[in-house]
Every structure is written in structure tokens, then in C-alpha cells.
Chain A
């Protein structure tokens, strides 16, 4: 395993005092408990890098591209729960981070971006590599700061780290003008705290909890909808306990994969556009929906008019602005997911009388089974590859993905049982997320956890340069490319909705990913037939360091079930003809 040795937080690591703004930045990171940073050097950020040069307790990973740094930091945050930190210079360095910041914002991931800026006196003059970074990132950060004073730059950074993880997590940014980080200061930053205008409500109103509990007890067809907030709030145990005691079927959103064990009888798995048929039936027919930590994204709801149309909605969320944003909450419960679930658990005395409903849900699991058939002589089915990888790895293996069909197969056919094992780009849907995310996930994971990156041929090519980083850092990652030589998800939509006109979705040439991996210094494998699969997987997992398997899958494979955008969840298509 290539992760750097754990450095001990010794007292001597703390310097006697800071001398520059840049040292104050580093001291603030240290005080906030930051261990890893992902970034790329450059003019305006050089003073900060220079201060990091002496910080042996902070590990910096030099990425190939700043987008990679932002995704690595994002994934680090998802897996560890602590903010991942990325670093870039001004101008293009900062703009290259933007995709990853927007991604973290959509998915409420704790992340901090530190960007260099031209010296204060040049700001506004269109100086070399100047960009209005706080302006550009304002709509995609939870908060951002322009550090204008060397005496407070450390506190700005501390605040940014504290805020990223507090309440509903999200990305924060501090823009660091070069003169401010280079300037002298002896102000050691204080304890990182959130700003005084930031408030988080932990416990839900008792009266509201009572009312919700009554509604829940009276339900005949209850469903729990577990959202990403359950994982971010570390509320999976409370959720499981509540579901087990009340024997309530559980549907998850995509970001919540792993919050509830998918091998459990009550698990209906993922709902939404490519959710299971049974999850979508359960959501469509329930009369009470207990939604926890979710924002009712349109990929989940389909058309709002037909979303859980018979259900009273109890919505638990830490962000009051999510309440009744997309779906009206009959019982809004504002607070921390775990705390509110405990409150509900106490308030609900009798579980709903729902034997019939549970039997119905069980029946749907059979009727709309995700099972598929294999023809050994036909091209490889991607579903089989995902299942084979799942079987070959431990229960706590971490899966990262790109965006496209392969992402959906990875969500559908891997059996998730633990939180923080599914690392994907949900809200923004960023192709190229998988590999840099695997790098961040690898550094946050335990050494004995496998990290598998499931990528598409197109998506992989968007950030493939990060293989150089994985090799340099000797990170144990297995990249499984589900190679269909297609911009597959687009091709699937073209077949369904654009009369099969494959505009810009066919690759007439694709690199050989196994050989490309070898050129980077990683191990390369390829699998074309069912017989090749076990050996390729075994070889890649056994390799100490990054390995890439080029799975040549059926180019015509499609993702089902499918609810077309804005469609009725209950009318998911099982075949193209049903679309």
C-alpha cells in the first residue's frame, strides 16, 4: 500500500509562532485537523506551498490537473467525513477547480478550496492570471472569502474548514492574494469556528415530531426514503434501527447507497430514473413517505405530478430551505438526521400495521427483479462485470465511478451495505470524476479496504492523466473500464428519443486502455470474454499499485429500468419499446 505513513500529531509539530500569512494558513489547516491536500503549484500560490514545505505532518499530493485535485478532495471528504482540501494557483488554476467545486456543492460534500490570487494592488487590473475567483465561485460555494489581511488570513482558512463540515456540508473557498500570504504577521490563527451568523438546528420541534409520529403510526403503506444526508450526518445506524423496529421498507436515493444494507429483506434499493422497478413501485404507491436528508432531485422524482402522489410526506432535513422546495412537506422536521430519527423512534409507539404492504413490496421485488440472462457466446454484459468485481472484493470495498451507463450499472448491480463506500458524482453528473475520486478515496480509506473505480471509456479519457499520480504515489486502485466504444448513455437516449441518430456518440477509435495503463507505469489487463473476467480481476486486485482492466463489453447494452426525464416513476420502462 502506497499511503504515506501516518504521522503522529506531536507537540513539536506546532511551530513556536507564525511569521507570514502563508504560515498562518498552514497553521490554520493544522489546527483544523487537516492531513491531506491535493493541488497544483503556480505563481500566486507559491508562498503557501513554500510554507507547506516545512509542514511534515501535512501530506500534499501533486495532481496532474486542478480538476483532479478538486475531485480527489471531494472524494476524500465523502469517505472520511472530514473536509478534503484542494489547492491551486490564481486564474486557470482556480477556474480548473470550478467543476469540482460545483460538484461538491450539488452533492453537499465537505470540501475546501484554497486559491492563489494576484497581489491585492493588482486586483481589478486584469493582471496576469487574474480571475475574479470569489465572483466565479459565489453561486457554487457555501461561502467564500477574499483574504485581504495577513493578520486574519489564518482565521479565514479556519472558518472555511469549519464551515465546510458544519450542518449541511458543502464547499468553501478562500482566495489568497500573493502579497497577503507573503506578508509578515505574528498572528497565530485561533480555533477554527463557524461565523456567528451561521446557525444549525440539531433537534426538531417536539410538537412537530409528535404530529409526524402519529401520521407514521396511522400509515398503511409506509416507506422510508433514505437520502445522502443520512450518510453525511452519520445517521445510518439510527435509520436502520428505526426501519428494523417498525419493519418499514427502505428506498434510497443514489447518494444514499450504502446507508441501508441492500441485502436486507426491507431494502428496496435505489429509486428514480434508473432505480429498481420495485423501489419505484413502492414510492409511487406508498401513503406515507418518511424522507430523510434528501432534496427531491428531478432524477429521483421524475415528474412531480406523479411523484408519490398518494403520500403524506414527513421530511427530515438539516437545511430549512430544502423543506417544500420541490415536494411539499406535510410534516417538516428540521434538524440533524440522526437526532431527529432518535426523536421519531421515541415518539412512534406502535409500528404501522402494514403486513400486506410489506408482502406487496416483497412481491414487487420478484416481479420486477433485476436479474438478467447470460449468453456465454455473446459479448460481455456489464452487469456481470460489476457483480464479479463485487464478489471479488470485500464488503467494505469503495466504489468510485465516472458518469454514464457504467455509473448506473455500478449503482444497480453492486450490493452496497456500508455507508461511505459509494463515491460518485450525482447532482452535477461530472464525467471524469472516477479516477481522481479514487485517489482521494484511497487516501481516506483504511489500508485493507479495496478501492475500485468503475469508469466508462469516454469518461475515463477526461481525467486519465491522474494515472500518473496514482503510479507516482503507488496507490492501490483498480480501474475497471466498461468499454463500449460509445458515449453510451447518449447513444441510449438517441436510440430511444432521437430515432437512432448517433450524433457525436460513436467513437471510431478508442485507445487500448490496458496498454495506456502500462505506458503510465500501471498494470494493464483486458477482458473480452466471460472466461477472461476472473483472471483479469484477480490479477488487477493482486497488483500492488494502480491497475486498469479494459472490459470490452456489449456495445449495445442499455440501462434499465428507465423513467424518461419528467416521466411517471410508476411507468418505468423495462425495454426500449416501453419508452
Chain B
């Protein structure tokens, strides 16, 4: 079809030297860095009301944030619940996830927990019941507890960091694992550090 405007064609125009990464960061030609993938734990103090969990999970799926686990539970304040999330994102994704989360109205505050935070996960592992003594022995080594004993199946409970739970499940595999359920990571800041700012001030 016809028409158009006049002026120098694209190849006849000056072009700048620089470029940006797909994340929008200006590339320093001397130190061209790939964005680092960061795995971290976010803790959000939220209003304890219906729909909050749905809002948080919708946000994560809509914005394509990569979420490894999510746990939710009440706190000592009946009006507040705490959501703990493990996210894995190339920068600046983690920062974005924090800011988008903080923007949700039922979210009171968001904290990124440092490397030294206390993180625990619980798993229930159901194994075949043929060798109960050996299961008990492994349970002892893994700091697991047997919580159900039947003629055909035994269930043990293990608590620990995510890698510890991984290792425990691996250790029980030799007995034939029938089913596993894991809670996902729950976490608190260490010492007197506060996990969440309860005043709601950003």
C-alpha cells in the first residue's frame, strides 16, 4: 500500500553505541554481567481475612514470579497471619516480587530473611512396613519420629531445613516410599531481629 513519510532511512541514521540487558540494565561494556539468580525467603505479615492467600498466589502466577514454596498460618495476633515464601528469581525479580507483594492491600509488611534466618520444613514420609526395625534405626539417625505404625506401612515425621528433609526422604527410599507430604519452608529471623514490622509502616 501507498504512502509514508520522508527522511533518512534507518541505515542512514546515527546509532548509539550502548545496549541494555533484557532486564533493562544498561550494559557496562567493561563488566558485562549476567543477572544473578537469587533464591531467598520472603516473609509477609498479612491481614487474617478470606481471600488473602488467593490474592498472593494470583499475583505470583500473573507476574510469573518463580515460587518454590508457600506456607501460611496464624500468628499470636488473631487479626494477622504470616505467609512464608521461598522464591527464586534472576535480579531484579526478587526486588519486584517484594514490591508487588507490599502493594497488595491486605499485606501489612514484607521482609526478606537473611541467610542466617531460622528455616524449617516438616515432612511426613510413609514407607513400606516390612522392615520396621531398620526404619526406626534410620529415623533415629535422621532425627525423625515414627508417628504411625501399621502392619503394611510406617509413617515418620521429619523436621529440618529443606536440604535436610531432602536427605531424609532419600534415606527412607530404600524401604519403598509410598507417599510424602511436605509443608514448605517456615522461617523466622534469628535472635532479636524482627521477622515482620507489625506497625505496617513501610
Contact = CB atoms under 8 A, between A and B. Distances in A.
Given A324-B95, A368-B7, A572-B10, A139 B62 contact: yes
B22 A573 contact: no
Interface string B1-27: 111111111100111111111111111
A141 to B, nearest CB: 10
Among B21, B25, B103, B106, find the residue whose CB has the most chain A CB atoms closer than 10 A.
B103
Contacts of B14: 285
A321 B54 contact: no
Contacts of A492: 1
B67 to A, nearest CB: 16
A324 B23 CA distance: 8
Nearest to B1: A556
Given A197-B106, A558-B4, A304 B24 contact: yes
Given A304-B22, A328-B26, A367-B8, A143 B96 contact: no
Interface in A119-142: 134-135, 138-139, 142
B99 A197 contact: no
Given A139-B58, A328-B26, A304 B13 contact: no
A560 B16 contact: no
Given A139-B58, A281-B13, A574-B6, A319 B23 contact: no
Nearest to B103: A321
B53 to A, nearest CB: 12
B92 interface: yes
A305 B20 contact: yes
A307 interface: yes
A561 B24 contact: no
B58 to A, nearest CB: 6
A547 to B, nearest CB: 29
Given A307-B24, A560-B5, A284 B10 contact: no
Given A310-B18, A571-B10, A138 B24 contact: no
A578 B62 contact: no
Chain B residues touching A, majority SS: loop
Interface core residue of B9, B19, B26, B108 (most chain A CB under 10 Å): B26
Interface residues of B, number: 46
B47 interface: yes
A272 to B, nearest CB: 16
A195 interface: yes
Interface string A305-331: 111011110000001110111111010
Nearest to A135: B54
A573 B20 contact: no
Nearest to A495: B1
B123 interface: no
A143 B1 contact: no
B151 interface: no
Contacts of B96: 321, 324-325
The 9 closest A-B pairs by CB, nearest first: A575-B4, A309-B18, A571-B10, A321-B99, A327-B24, A556-B1, A328-B25, A310-B18, A574-B5
Interface of A: 134-135, 138-139, 142-143, 146, 163, 195-199, 201, 277, 281, 284-285, 296, 304-307, 309-312, 319-321, 323-328, 330, 367-372, 492, 495, 554, 556-558, 560-561, 568, 570-576, 578
26 contacts: A134-B51, A138-B51, A138-B58, A139-B62, A197-B106, A277-B7, A309-B20, A310-B26, A321-B99, A321-B100, A324-B92, A328-B20, A328-B24, A368-B5, A368-B7, A369-B6, A557-B1, A558-B1, A560-B5, A568-B15, A570-B13, A574-B9, A576-B1, A578-B4, A578-B9, A578-B10
Given A199-B202, A304-B22, 12 more contacts: A139-B59, A142-B105, A197-B200, A199-B201, A304-B24, A309-B20, A312-B26, A321-B100, A328-B23, A372-B5, A570-B16, A571-B10
Interface of B: 1-10, 13-27, 47, 51, 54-55, 58-59, 62, 92, 95-96, 99-100, 102-103, 105-108, 200-202
